[in-house]
Structure 1
Amino acid sequence: MIGYYVHHHGLGHRNRATQIARELTVAVTGFSTLDRPADWPGEWVQLPPDVTEHPSDPTASGVLHWAPLGHPGHRERMGIMAQWLCHDLDLMVTDTSAEVTLLARLMGVPTVVMAMRGDRTDRTHRAAYDAATALIAPWSRETAETYWPEDWNRKTTFTGAISRFDVPTAAARGTGPAGVGPAVTSSEGAGSAVEGENTVLVLWGRGGTAVGEDDLAAARAATPGWTWTVRTPDNPSPDLWRELHEATVVVSHGGNNAVAELSAARAHAVVVAQPRPHDEQTATVAALDRAGICVGLPEWPAPERWPGLLDRALLLGGDRWRTWRHGDGAHRAARAMEAVLRGDAP
């Protein structure tokens, strides 16, 4: 059986884990503080929270990322997973936690780490990535991180982007939500539903943001020929797949799953990094911009820049997203995990 640890920050980790789990042909059990997804295909163990405003030595003097001393929730959650690792799990996938990765490895269970963008050369990440049996990178080899040591690259499967809008394989069809569509077949990517109307769709997540209503209002005022629509977890789209295609340009944060959805729709996009640990989103938008896939920005731009940015975005997107995604990222990830389960590590 495969165990799958899902981090609770934002919703992207859970969405990605669900897409991959639905492609697995073996039993999978999820572990997370988050609620079980409606379309999760196996058992789900909801873990007690381990957050606290006043942690005691949470990093173990810099050795770990989060292991607060004396916290009953932290001790209980690690104990629950240890029991499963002791008796039931043959492989542990982490998306993402260095501590859970190391726990599994210390108990002699092979581990697969879902890699993340940004600078992962800190002591804790290096220990987790070094100890992992295999790594899975949800981006293409062509856009790989240049600083990675070769021993990480050797054990990595580069799946390309993993989107909830990817068409599932035959094994996974019928197990997920209805209405998610195939990737766009037109080379033009997204475009306005009304001829002559210029529209901006803003997608903003729940994981923390440095952009407020005043920033959006200033961008609107600077682009009088454009109509802006803002979607957030508190104001979700009634049909995101449709809105992605109807928008002339999509403006999004640089979270991995948001970018994956842009790639599935082959949108003309402006992707703006939000502050994240280890500069994760900064690294993502830099890779996108460097590859000429879309407009990638390290921070929210001044209002007067928006007309030019939207015009530049119209020249990008479409087929350029093929550099970022293969269309079957979840399937590739699942096959890589099952290879490790069989002992065929990269």
Structure 2
Amino acid sequence: MTRPVGYYVHHQGAGHWQRAVAVARALETLGRPCTLMGTLAGLDTAAAPGPVLDLPDDRLDAGFDGRDGAAERPECLHYAPLGHPGIRARMGRIAAWAAQHDPALMIVDVSAEVALLARLLSVPSLVVRLSGTRTDRPHLEAFRAASRLLAPFPEALDGGAVPDWVRAKTLYGGFLGTAPATAATDEDGRIVVVFGRGGEGGALGPLVQAAAAVPGRDWHVLGPVSGTGAIPANLHLHGWVAEVRPHLASAALVVGGAGDGLVTAVAALGRRFLCLPEPRAYAEQEAKADALERLGAAIVHRGWPDAPAWPGLVARGLALDPGIVRSLAEPDALARTAAAIEAMCREAG
């Protein structure tokens, strides 16, 4: 019987889940079963190609800000509040699954604690290393515990503060989202604004001002938008959409954060990109945006632009060479990464 892969998926945003599904599908084509596990409430798990293990929530309450409030904590941990039954249950379920199924590998995307748990369970692990400044003790100890590290971005986007031993341990997978559902088409002049699941969404007032500042183009907005008021004829609100890429396929300019899902789609379709990095832990989106800007693959603006800034930003975005961002999308990235993961599984026996 082929030993499975366990894939831990972080709950923040939709990018971790989309990447996990893509990798799991690629592994299934190689005959390697993969169980996706995490706190999956609010996600459509029907896309998973194999078993799904839903874990109890480990957050403290509805207003949880990512900190556990502990005055003291072991230096190898990020998040380990005491007296939380959800944490005991989720760690227990992961351990029970590993004991029952004898996995060849655990992929951890992302959690320092689950990475260390895999090591304690004597299971080889492939720990996902995201963008940003991740040289704190918990990250480095999770990296040491891992058999290998997986960067879900091209090596060209890696930051300069990464220790050499971390780089040497890293498999640069490239962008690992699903293959484009719709190929890029001829541009129709539209500007597409994307608010992802992991952020706070958009506000109607600033969107109205942006559309008024560049009235000669249609603005299409994907994702949640708050507020009420008159909507100009060139502003189209689509709300949450299940598949973003068909809406991006003919865009002259895409506007949005530096989340993995959107950057992957922009690169795959070769769309000009105005990047508005959102606040994230460890400056993840800032680091990615800086790298895109350095390569000439995007125009970057910190924060939502004021109305007078929009004409100039749109003009700069339209002047980008879309071939630069397209060159970051390797057509074989997913297959190559799956093959490397399968090789790790075979080494485990």
TM-score surpassing 0.5?
yes
Contact 1:58 1:65 in 2 (8 A): no
Select 1:245's aligned residue among 246, 249, 267: 249
Deviations 1:71-127 (A, max 9, x none): 111100001111122342221001111110010012211110111011101111111
Contact 1:223 1:306 in 2 (8 A): yes
Moved over 6 A (4+): none
Name the structure 1 match of 2:230.
none
1:12 partner amino acid: G
Select 2:130's aligned residue among 102, 116, 124: 116
Give, in angstroms, the shift of residue 233 of structure 1. 5.8
Contact 2:132 2:288 in 1 (8 A): yes
Give, in angstroms, the shift of residue 232 of structure 1. 0.6
Change (3 A) 1:58 1:36: farther
Residue 14 in 1 paired to residue 23 in 2?
A: no
Contact 1:7 1:95 in 2 (8 A): yes
Name the structure 2 match of 1:176.
none
The whole-number CA distance in structure 2 between the counterparts of 1:335 and 1:59 is 42
Name the structure 2 match of 1:208.
199
1:50 partner amino acid: D
Deviations 1:125-144 (A, max 9, x none): 11112221111112112222
2:193 partner amino acid: V
Residue 281 in 1 paired to residue 319 in 2?
A: no
Residue 155 in 1 paired to residue 175 in 2?
A: no
Name the structure 2 match of 1:169.
none
- Which shows bigger deviation, 234-243 or 24-33? 234-243
> Normalized against structure 2, the TM-score is what?
0.85
Give, in angstroms, the shift of residue 240 of structure 1. 3.4
Name the structure 2 match of 1:264.
268
The whole-number CA distance in structure 1 between the counterparts of 2:321 and 2:148 is 31
Change (3 A) 1:261 1:302: same
Name the structure 1 match of 2:34.
28
SS of residue in 2 equivalent to 1:278: helix
Residue 71 in 1 paired to residue 71 in 2?
A: no
Name the structure 1 match of 2:47.
39
Q: Which structure ranks higher in relative contact order (CA pairs < 8 Å, sequence separation ≥ 6)?
A: 1
What is the total number of aligned residue pairs between the two structures?
Answer: 321
Give, in angstroms, the shift of residue 164 of structure 1. 2.1
Give, in angstroms, the shift of residue 59 of structure 1. 7.3
Structure 2 portions without partners, runs of 5+: 226-238
1:309 partner amino acid: L
SS of residue in 1 equivalent to 2:57: coil
Deviations 1:26-75 (A, max 9, x none): 01111111056212121111111111138563972554222221111110
Residue 254 in 1 paired to residue 258 in 2?
A: yes
Contact 1:113 1:136 in 2 (8 A): yes
Q: What's the Cα RMSD here? A: 2.2
Change (3 A) 1:212 1:77: same
SS of residue in 2 equivalent to 1:3: strand
Give, in angstroms, the shift of residue 312 of structure 1. 1.3
1:223 partner amino acid: V
The whole-number CA distance in structure 2 between the counterparts of 1:59 and 1:225 is 57
Name the structure 1 match of 2:235.
none
The whole-number CA distance in structure 2 between the counterparts of 1:133 and 1:317 is 39
Name the structure 2 match of 1:331.
335
The percentage of counterpart residues that share the same residue type is 36
Select 1:81's aligned residue among 91, 94, 119: 94
Residue 312 in 1 paired to residue 316 in 2?
A: yes
1:125 partner amino acid: H
